[in-house]
Amino acid sequence: VLVMFLGSWALAPREESAPSKELAPAPAPSVRPPNAAAAPAPSVRPPSATAEPIVPAVPHDKFAAYEVKMRREGCSPTAIAAFKYNYGVLVSGANLMIGESAIAPVQSLPTLDELDPAEDAALLAQTVMLKLNGGLGTGMGLLGPKSLLKVREAAGADVRADGGGGGDGGAAGGICFLDLIVRQLGALSAGVAGDGGRA
């Protein structure tokens, strides 16, 4: 009986096992023939096609909390008004893109000789001057900030000609960029009439 069972089992047809999905080869990527036309690129609408004017509609119920916080922190009315405008533009959903068709080159600018430095002297007290201190200049082989480079010799009358004070500056017996900045501010304060000329 055992021999008959083994014989029938050996002669019985076997089903082919299905290949594993993990081992199935991935389909080859389709390669476009060189002569075939390229697929059309998606159309991109130029920013200026539907440019809308920026009309900030500020929801006062939401901005009120920001305004209270800014006043509590001592922010000036000018800063609050500027933030209110920018916040209104943000929440309005306006298109902030400016197309080339909406801009034009400046035709003329006033020269320095046409400006009156004493006209708005009171604004100087509200003015902040920011100047970049200069990088370390390691790519140029320098060992310190470029603003400490000596740009003028410390020579008596020449040092004070631009409204500066005493001292040899920080450029090893010469005048560096930082010294010139301080002297320019001193000259500005001395040249502007009124108490508004504080630098």
Dump pLDDT digits (tens) for 104-118: 998 998 888 888 766
Per the domain annotation, does 184 fall within a domain?
yes
Query: Model pTM greater than 0.85?
Result: no
pLDDT band for 156, please (50, 70, 90 cuts): low
Rounded to an integer, what distance in angstroms lies between the CA atom of residue 144 and that of residue 179? 15
Q: Which residue has the higher pLDDT, 92 or 17?
A: 92
- Mean pLDDT for the chain? 68
Which structural domain, as residue segments, surrounds residue 83? 53-94
Higher pLDDT, 124 or 32: 124
pLDDT above 80: residue 178:
yes
**Among residues 140, 169, 139, which one has the least CA distance to residue 154?**
169
pLDDT exceeds 50 at position 58? yes
Task: Report d(CA 113, CA 106) in Å as an integer.
Answer: 19
State which amino acid sits at residue 51. Answer: A
Whether residue 129 sits in one domain with residue 168? yes
User: pLDDT value at position 78?
Assistant: 93
- Here the tokens at position 148 are 């400490």
pLDDT at residue 160, as a whole number: 41
> Can you tell me the mean pLDDT for 81-100?
85
Q: Is residue 99 part of a domain?
A: no
Are 126 and 68 within one domain?
no
169 occurs within a structural domain? yes
